[in-house]
Amino acid sequence: MNNLQTKDYLVFLFYFLVVASYGYWVYRRKKKDAVSASHDYFLAEGSLTWWAIGASLIASNISAEQFIGMSGSGFKMGLAISTYEWMGAATLLIVAIFFIPVYLKNKIYTMPQFLSKRYNGKVALIMAVFWLLLYVVVNLTSILYLGALAITSISGLNLTLCMYLLAIFAIFITLGGMKVIGYTDVIQVFFLILGGLVTTYIALNLVSEKFGGAGVVHGFKIMTQQANDHFHMIFSRDNPNYMDLPGLSVLIGGMWIVNLNYWGCNQYITQRALGADLKTARGGILFAAFLKLLMPVLVVLPGIAAYVLHQQGDFQATMMQAGEVNPDKAYPVLLNLLPAGLKGLSFAALTAAVVASLAGKANSISTIFTLDVYKKLVDKEADEKKMVRIGKITVIVAMIIAIIIAPLMGIDKKGGFQYIQEYTGFVSPGIFAMFILGFFWKKTTSSAALFATIGGFIFSIFFKFLPGIMNLSFLSSIGFSKANADGIYEIPFIDRMGIVFGICIIGMVLISLYENKKGVIPHGLEIDKKMFKMNTSFVVGALIVCGVLAALYTVFW
């Protein structure tokens, strides 16, 4: 039954009032402290604690593409999709150890600012435009659309109305600035995890009851028996989902580029830590890594549970769309089975995930546009108050654009999670190559960075459409191509990212060495070995995360 009862609305209203009231209190307190500078609005400079940074990272990261898209991928391919979460945890440790110290030491607050300082204004401007287009056209639209789709399936409300309501709620939080987002995200994460755990608990119990048992442990055991093929992290080449997760590439290949670019070179994410000192930033990132280990329990296991129940004859009609099973309906279908009250809690959790992610993304769009486009190109003399005002206008405009174009993007046809990953992957290899050499190789030149920026995108497009030009079956023997349903050999997009990254690195090195010989002297960043020294508590926490990851991959290989 696709509607909410009175108890559900009361639970949801309680959630809304708590978030809104707390956000307003943080906003009023910030105003009393007389801190209204642009850095405070965009970065909450010096005011977020480690737990607020960690919670905000996860709240901004976990959204409809995880709850809906990743659960759908769990239904379709199983636990292997968890590699995005678990490799993300490992990546966060690398970002905390190596990336954040470089940003903080060099007083870098936005990603285009890093590019401007390390390379030049042209590179920074090109990438600022790239990021704005990517964040609005791919990320903001997909989060908004998938979130509205899920809420529509639960509440029965109109899809467009749901998009407007989500956008308004997110704008309300975003206009308070990064500090309001950071601290309200702590509440959002509480609802997100609590509601997610409730849904997982119910889903595992349903599986257990279906097979005459009781309890989540029994339900999990049944799932591993009934869907054994859904509990392997590394796919063999004959697996039908190999194109999405190509074997060992998730451990030693392109998956590292996906995650390192997302967690280390992404305004949307790094913004949470850039306003803190190094110890606080690292503590927050470590906390986020621990939370990432938990995420598959909340978003993947329900999808596998829905698959097992579907195989037993449940949800046959509700999982269908246009005559085919739509995996992205797995999570909403489970939510509709929850009793009144608990359904409201899970509804609040899903809304919390969507709103937090929208708010974080909108704030990053606002930050990049205001500091790196408007301030540099339109009004170089803009004062602090005007920049904050422009930032707020940008948030509203970005949301309106996303609402208009979201239904036109075909997000529901491709699968929400894979849609975001593949289209982000067109720019990720070049961006990451530009950042990693910019960090740690002082000889890297601006021309080399431009090659990675533009060339990386062009090569990504080239390899995407290459199968239509030539037969790539010769790559099959080494695992870099596989025949699709039409018999055409394609390169998995994660491998495409690895190949393009390699080309970008080689090209950047050759261009830089050539220009070095011509007398070009790049602007290196300030780096010394002491920056990377870690305190004992961080080292212990990082070792625990690594140990848990090793155990998970060993058990579910």
pLDDT in tens, 369-383: 888 888 888 877 777
Measure the CA–CA gap between 546 and 268, rounded to whole angstroms: 25
Measure the CA–CA gap between 427 and 96, rounded to whole angstroms: 23
Q: Where are the chain's structural domains?
A: 6-20+37-417, 425-526
In this prediction, residue 447 has a pLDDT band, given cuts at 50, 70 and 90, of: very high
Question: Model-level pTM?
Answer: 0.81
pLDDT in tens, 245-295: 888 888 888 889 888 988 888 766 666 676 678 888 899 899 999 999 988
**Predicted local distance difference test score (pLDDT) of residue 314:** 78
Residue 414 has pLDDT above 70, yes or no: no
**Predicted local distance difference test score (pLDDT) of residue 358:** 82
Overall average pLDDT of the 530-535 stretch: 86
In this prediction, residue 87 has a pLDDT band, given cuts at 50, 70 and 90, of: very high
Overall average pLDDT of the 377-396 stretch: 81
In this prediction, residue 501 has a pLDDT band, given cuts at 50, 70 and 90, of: very high
In this prediction, residue 36 has a pLDDT band, given cuts at 50, 70 and 90, of: very low
Place of tokens 């989500």: 166
With vertex at residue 410, the alpha carbon angle to CA 405 and CA 416, rounded to the nearest 5 degrees, is: 105
Overall average pLDDT of the 340-348 stretch: 78
Overall average pLDDT of the 83-101 stretch: 91
Bridging pattern class, strands 489-490 and 482-483: antiparallel
Place of tokens 């290949």: 253
- Look at residues 193, 39, 199 and name the one whose alpha carbon lies nearest to residue 108: 39
**Predicted local distance difference test score (pLDDT) of residue 40:** 52
Average pLDDT for the chain: 81
Residue 51 has pLDDT above 50, yes or no: yes
Q: Coil, strand or helix: which one is 111?
A: helix
Contact 490, 482 (CB under 8 A): yes
Contact 265, 111 (CB under 8 A): yes
- Look at residues 461, 421, 483, 486 and name the one whose alpha carbon lies nearest to residue 243: 483
Which CATH code is given to the segment(s) 6-20+37-417? Answer: 1.20.1730.10
Place of tokens 């920056």: 531
In this prediction, residue 311 has a pLDDT band, given cuts at 50, 70 and 90, of: confident
Residue 17 has pLDDT above 70, yes or no: yes
Half-sphere exposure of 188 (CA within 13 A, CB side): 34
- Rounded to the nearest angstrom, the gap between the alpha carbon of residue 178 and the centroid of all alpha carbons in its chain is 18
- For 121, other C-beta atoms within 10 Å of its C-beta total 16
Measure the CA–CA gap between 461 and 75, rounded to whole angstroms: 29
Place of tokens 């937090």: 356
- Rounded to the nearest angstrom, the gap between the alpha carbon of residue 248 and the centroid of all alpha carbons in its chain is 22
